[in-house]
Amino acid sequence: MEGDLQKFKADFFKALAHPLRIRILEVLSEGERNVNELQTALGSEGSAVSQQLAVLRAKNLVNSFKEGTTVVYSLRDPLLTELLAVARRIFDNHLVEAISLLEGIRNEK
């Protein structure tokens, strides 16, 4: 059972291992969007967005449903929003540390 959890985590993080997929999840954390809305928000072409949405769907990170002829996407689990926020805080912490290090180097001169 323990190995199953690590496999799930590894597969989960592999699904997040692309900048465009992360950006798609960030946009979807603001609410449901169709492909055209995602393309506009991301400033990316349709084939790239569709390809990454397919990966996110396959890994059960996003839901999709048809609204007429349009497919609408949403986050499958609202905890993804929290995960992205935590990742942002970790990034900010690393950035603060790097800035402090650079300021220390600059002050040594």
In the chain the domains, ranked by start, together with CATH numbers, are 2-108 (1.10.10.10)
pTM: predicted TM-score of the whole model, two decimal places: 0.83
- 65-74 pLDDT, tens digit per residue, is 999 999 999 9
R_g (Cα) of the chain, nearest Å: 18
Strand order in the sheet with 33-34: 33-34, 70-75, 62-67
Per-residue confidence at 62, pLDDT binned at 50, 70, 90? Answer: very high
pLDDT at residue 36 is higher than 80: yes
Per-residue confidence at 99, pLDDT binned at 50, 70, 90? Answer: confident
